[in-house]
Amino acid sequence: MRILLLVLAGVVLVYLAALVALAVFQRRLIYPGAAWAGEPARDRFAPPGTEAITLTTADGERLFALWRPPRPGCGVVVSFHGNGSRPEPHAARFVADPWRRAGWGVLAPAYRGYPGSTGSPSEAGLIRDGMAAVAAAMERASGAPILLHGHSLGAAVAVAMAGRVSSIGLYLEAPFDSLTHAVRLHVPLAPPWLLRDTFRSDRRIRGGTEPVLIVQGTDDPVVPAKLARALAAAAGPRARFELVPGDHVSIFGIRDREAEAAFRGRVGPACLAADGVVP
């Protein structure tokens, strides 16, 4: 009996130690792409067709971002990357066809604490970063319609923006309904109250009116399809859910042509998208 009690005590101690580690280091796990020193990265670059700019958030952080203005009267995609990613692939994607041909602009920021940006990431911090990105897009392209886009964690930032700013829609790839539910799937023994950043997109997306396009991979080991389906259900009939072959990364951009065509109709007649080459 004494040996059994010692074994049980050891298991409890290991579990408690694991909880302490999760409590202390959880943001390093949630935001693995962050550069915690906050120093500008030397490898930041602007993909062809974009320029590097600096955004200043409401709480004084400076963010690296990539920008391309839209054609007159056209829309801007404000794009938020995933937790282990960076803005360059997003910016390069939205200055290529079909977005380029239709005259869209793009603004893609790097979150606080990520290479090129100052600060340390948190849910509240990323929401401030999102607000700074939308404000910059509105300032640089006054009157341009805003399309909010996000991949994975970036989808949660986009959803948070939709409840705070005016937009023509949400284009979400591999989104989760809440970080609480995503963590529960991967770390089932972790108590929900331990999580400091919950990203409850399922609550934030309710009550909106803008259309929502959700694209989810069939074989996503990071964000299972049921979490994306739950977010679509929370959005209600305005959501269109597309389940496509692929994993968490391979679906990136797979429905761009359909998405651009769908949201272009909400930009307005001032955007005359030509079939010729867009400068």
β partners of residue 40: none
Whether omega for the bond prior to residue 72 falls within 30 degrees of 0, making it cis, is no
Task: State residue 275's pLDDT score.
Answer: 40
Task: State residue 160's pLDDT score.
Answer: 97
Domain 31-264: CATH class, spelled out: alpha beta
Domain segments of the chain as ranges: 31-264
Please give the Cα distance from 112 to 62 (Å, whole number).
Answer: 8
DSSP 8-state code for residue 265: T
- pTM attached to this predicted model: 0.89
Task: State residue 36's pLDDT score.
Answer: 60
Average pLDDT per 10 consecutive residues for the chain, totaling 279 residues: 52 44 65 71 80 96 97 96 94 96 96 94 97 98 96 98 95 96 77 85 93 97 95 97 96 96 90 49
Q: Could you give phi then psi for residue 78, rounded to 5 degrees?
A: -95, 115
Q: Could you give phi then psi for residue 190, rounded to 5 degrees?
A: -80, 125
Q: Note whether 98 and 134 are within 8 A (CB).
A: no
Q: Is 150 left (phi over 0), alpha (psi -120 to 50) or beta?
A: beta
Q: pLDDT tens across 161-203, in order?
A: 999 999 999 999 999 999 999 888 867 766 766 789 999 999 9
For residue 63, give the nearest of 131, 3, 9, 17 by alpha carbon. Answer: 131
Helix (H, G, I), strand (E, B) or coil at 279: coil
Task: State residue 190's pLDDT score.
Answer: 67
DSSP for 163-189, written as a single string: TTS--SEEEEES--S-HHHHHHHHSTT
DSSP for 64-115, written as a single string: EEEEEPPPTT--EEEEE--TT--SHHHHHHHTSTTTTTTT-EEEEEPPTTST
Q: Other CB atoms closer than 10 Å to residue 27's CB: what's the count?
A: 18
Contacts (Cβ under 8 Å, ≥6 apart) of 200:
178, 179, 180
